[in-house]
Amino acid sequence: MAHRFVQAMAAAVLTAGTIASAGGVAGAAPPGPPVILHVGQVTAQDVAPQPGSEPDTVVEPDVAVSPVDRNVAIAAAHDGRFPNGGAVDISIAWTHDGGGTWHHSPVQGITAATGGPYERASDPVVAFGPDGTAYLSVLLIDIASCPSAVAVLRSIDGGQTWSAPLYAHQSTTCDYSDDKNWLVVDNSAVSPHGGRLYQFWTPFIASGRHFLGAPQAVRWSDDKGSTWSATSYVTAMNSVTQNSQPMILADGTIVDTYYDYGVGAPAPDAVPGAVPESPRLAVSRRQSVTAAAVPTGIPIFAARSNDGAATWQQVGQVTNNAIDTLRDVRCCLFAADIDPVTQVMYVAWLGVGASGTDPVLVSRSRTGTQWTSPVTVSQGDVAGIQRVNVDVVARSGDVYVSYGTRTQPASNGGFVQQQLSFSHDRGVSFAAPISIGPVSALQYAAQAGGYFPGDYIGAAIAPGRLYLVWARSSAPPPPSTSPFHQVIDGATLKIQ
């Protein structure tokens, strides 16, 4: 989810005001729909399965595009998923020809499978700096004990080779367990913090067997990840939150958006369908996704920092009607992005709709304080149709929302068609969706408390180019005996 994309190297600071529709030049033809240039497989399993892992599963992808060359993009995903959290390793994929060809390999030195110190890896996030340096953020975990870490690796050759892991944070105690990480880089030419890396994550804090809270945490680096600041907290220490999706304005102001379950709520992994990516808490109430587990609305809040993440103030509520799981599918974190040209921010999520539907919704803001009423992106939201995962990117007033549409859920998990909806009026209205790539059969997807197409998908935008990545599952090819077959597909589209 979000950022899976890169800000422009230079963007003007716009004055505050009402968000208006993008006006066209008199007599000019309206922008057309995106055109698919390439679609196909981005990566597949690179490492041998380990005991307890699910063979032939690659899931939960992210993607970013270089700000200095739009033909250079990098994707990353779980490689060899474990049903109780994390993966054997992380698969990294790269293209230097705009998605015409992709190459992939396992990330070295992070898990035991590739000579690293940790048992498992999870939640890969890719970002680029203003000079074209690429960064990979991963969560590293030992399920059998308590060590966990948030590591950042960097690449100066477009993803072909990577540095040793640089640790933004490490924990050795069960009382502080790292979870859901997100990485974003300040690429603005006019920001006082230009080039700064911001590493967000969710620590699960306990005292013995007593859960105390899950705030949003952040550290930053001004030397490309070699050293990191002390931890700053976006939310109160006793708050129960998840899934930072930060956006950086051209002047360096950061707006972070996140789920807020409320002070005193159970740990986020206690909600139906959630499975930990770190040891978390032995007292958490693990639950499976069942037909009786009906999603209820979750608030998404926004916080702002005007001093490079040192201090934070909660400034607004995006919605109180988001979901983060489906009845028998683990999926569906919300996503966010800022348009580097217009400086309008967008949050996209699956909402609780009428008659058991979960429409794709988008809200927008200039400041993070006031958010518009949600606009419905998806079409044909009726009982029996579900949306699976969502991502959003925007540029020059055009907004692109990627998501899966699930049909026949009672048929061994059903089928998911990846789709893309787009807006040429700054998210005021959306055209009919475009279907991209072959259908995914959830019967062959990884399992993690339910069918697992991943908690998020990836999208990245550059002038004239849009990259999308998602997990696709299908019948295992002979002579495979695995019950799973899951790869990462991707598409490159030409945009106006």
Alpha helices by DSSP H, listed for 223-283, are none
pLDDT (0 to 100) of residue 444: 98
> What percent of the chain has a predicted confidence (pLDDT) above 90?
79
CB atoms within 10 A of CB 411: 11
Q: Give me the pLDDT at residue 210, please.
A: 85
For residue 193, pLDDT beyond 60 = yes
Residue 60 has pLDDT above 50, yes or no: yes
Distance CA 144, CA 142 (A): 6
Q: What is the mean pLDDT of residues 183-209?
A: 95
- Specify whether the CB–CB gap between 19 and 364 falls below 8 A: yes
Structure tokens at 125: 């996030």
143-162 per-residue burial string, b: 16 or more CB within 10 A, e: under 16: beebbbbbbbbbbeebbeeb
Chain centroid to CA 346? 14
For residue 275, pLDDT over 50 is answered with: no
Residue found by looking up tokens 């380990």 in the block: 50
Q: How far apart are CA 320 and CA 298, in angstroms?
A: 5
The answer to whether 420 touches 470, Cβ cutoff 8 Å, is no
Q: Where are the domains of the chain?
A: 39-494
CB 217 within 8 A of CB 211: no
Q: What is the pLDDT of residues 359-415, one digit of tens each?
A: 999 999 999 999 999 999 999 999 889 999 999 999 999 999 999 999 999 999 999
- Give SS3 for 442: helix
State the DSSP H helix or E strand holding residue 240, giving kind and residue range, or none if neither: none
* SS3 call for 270: helix
Does pLDDT of 300 surpass 80?
yes
Question: Is residue 7 scored above 50 in pLDDT?
Answer: no
pLDDT score recorded for residue 435: 98
Beta strands in 16-67 (DSSP E): 35-43, 58-65
Specify the CATH number of the domain 39-494: 2.120.10.10
Separation of alpha carbons 161 and 99, rounded Å = 18
Mean pLDDT, rounded, for 258-271? 78
Closest CA to 128 of 76, 73, 166: 73
pLDDT digits (tens, 9 = 90+) for 123-176: 999 999 999 999 999 999 998 778 899 999 999 999 999 999 999 999 998 889
pLDDT for position 292: 37
Q: CA separation (Å) from 343 to 13, 85, 377, 426, 493?
A: 7, 36, 21, 11, 23
Q: How confident is the model at residue 273 (pLDDT cuts 50, 70, 90)?
A: very low
Phi and psi dihedrals of 253, rounded to 5? Answer: -65, 135
Q: Is the pLDDT of residue 287 over 80?
A: no
| pTM summary value | 0.92
Q: Are the CB atoms for 394 and 42 separated by under 8 Å?
A: no
3-state secondary structure of 443: helix
Q: What is the mean pLDDT of the chain?
A: 89
Mapped onto helix, strand or coil, the DSSP state of residue 42 is: strand
- Using pLDDT thresholds of 50, 70 and 90, give the confidence band for residue 10: very low
Strand partners, 36: 493
* 461 or 326, which is more confident: 461
pLDDT in tens, 87-127: 999 999 999 999 999 999 999 999 999 999 999 999 999 99
Nearest to 179 by CA among 209, 140, 210: 140
| CA 381 – CA 305 distance, rounded (Å) | 37
pLDDT at 278: 53
DSSP per-residue letters across 310-323: SS-EEEEEEEEEE-
Q: What is the mean pLDDT of residues 306-335?
A: 94
- Answer yes or no: is pLDDT of 276 > 70: no
Share above pLDDT 70 across residues of the chain, in percent, rounded to a whole number: 88
